[in-house]
Amino acid sequence: MPARLKEELQGTLLKILFIGDSAEQPVLSDVAVRYGVSVNILHGKIEYIGNRALGILVVLLTHPTDSEQLAAAIHYVQTRTARVEVDLTVAFGETFQMVSIATLCAIVGGLPLGLLIFVTDRNLFWQNRAVYLCSTILVNIIRSIPFVILLVLLLPLTQILLGNTIGPVAASVPMSVAAMVFYARLVDSALREVDPGIVEAAEAFDASPIRIIATVLLPEVKAGLLRGLTITLVSLIGYSSMAGIVGGGGVGDLAIRFGYYRYEMQVMVVTVVALVILVQVVQMLGDWFAKRADKRARR
């Protein structure tokens, strides 16, 4: 808003953030009737993500005589609309929650899926063309969908599983799906780097498929699995920021609410710097663990 206009206005300026159901409540008309204040809407911006409203209003509240009524009206508006404080601790806590859930699902679901794709391919002990084609096509289809679209596409599934589509736990559903297929492909790629002669030698000693997987394949690709998990973690941090678009919370939600809707660029800058530092720490730790697990690096 121009500085000239701010200086000329008489009254109290309020930035009102509304999310979801709060956008449908007659807050301004109620405050005008209840406290006898004049409400002048100076600026408004709203977008709908699915059926959920996200927006901001800049309003001017004035009262001709009673400053106490004006103060009470301001308090009423603040209690009826979304919270407006910047809380990086809460935002990063929600991001950590989303990333942790999705990472766990990537390990529990993505690792077996990647193994399944590898061992059911041609010339391997569990060769099964039908299973291989079904699993690899499923992974390719999900990976081909941009994550922002996948977020919206899986809203019905999230609603069925959790009963709501808002919050970090709800956002973890599409993040987990994306993480599982992403990590599965990285696991498959890492396994294909194993020397076929090692597998053939294990088969020559009549080792069972499960024993080959547990004592030959997984130990050989431990470093590759850790590197793949690091890449997945970094991608999930980016996904968690996108989850703020549909009310997932976290750092992305903070950047959208304050940096985009309220034009507070300092919040956006702080958020970006914090994310850069977080990604660097994750990448460095992942590289360190992978290097320690790499047999070739120790030889």
Between 296 and 40, residue with greater pLDDT: 40
The mean pLDDT of 112-120, rounded to a whole number, is: 92
Task: Specify the range with the lowest mean pLDDT, choosing from 6-20, 136-150, 152-166.
Answer: 6-20
Place of tokens 């390990």: 107
The mean pLDDT of 6-21, rounded to a whole number, is: 68
Q: Which of 296, 117, 293, 122 is nearest to 196 (CA)?
A: 122
Cβ–Cβ under 8 Å, residues 140 and 212: no
Q: CA-based angle 81:23:258, to the nearest 5?
A: 60
Between 250 and 236, residue with greater pLDDT: 236
Residue 124 has pLDDT above 70, yes or no: yes
| CA 269 – CA 230 distance, rounded (Å) | 25
Structure tokens at 257: 């609410």
Q: Which of 252, 217, 263 is nearest to 56 (CA)?
A: 263
* Per-residue pLDDT reduced to its tens digit, 3-13: 555 566 677 77
Cβ–Cβ under 8 Å, residues 12 and 62: yes
Q: What are the angstrom distances between the C-alpha of 66 and each of 6, 71, 74, 76? A: 22, 9, 13, 16
Residue 49 has pLDDT above 60, yes or no: no
CATH numbers and ranges of domains, the chain: 3-80 (3.30.70.260), 88-298 (1.10.3720.10)
| CA 8 – CA 42 distance, rounded (Å) | 13
Q: What are the angstrom distances between the C-alpha of 120 and each of 129, 134, 165, 199? A: 7, 11, 36, 14
Average pLDDT of the chain to the nearest whole number = 82
Q: Which of 165, 150, 175 is nearest to 237 (CA)?
A: 175
**pLDDT at position 208, please?**
84
pLDDT > 70 in the chain, percent:
84
Distance of CA 13 to the CA centre of its chain: 33
Between 44 and 296, residue with greater pLDDT: 44
Residue 110 has pLDDT above 90, yes or no: yes
Q: What are the angstrom distances between the C-alpha of 13 and each of 3, 7, 25, 115, 278? A: 13, 11, 20, 59, 36
**pLDDT at position 115, please?**
92
Residue 84 has pLDDT above 50, yes or no: no
The mean pLDDT of 150-164, rounded to a whole number, is: 89
**pLDDT at position 175, please?**
94
CB count within 10 Å of CB 81 equals: 21
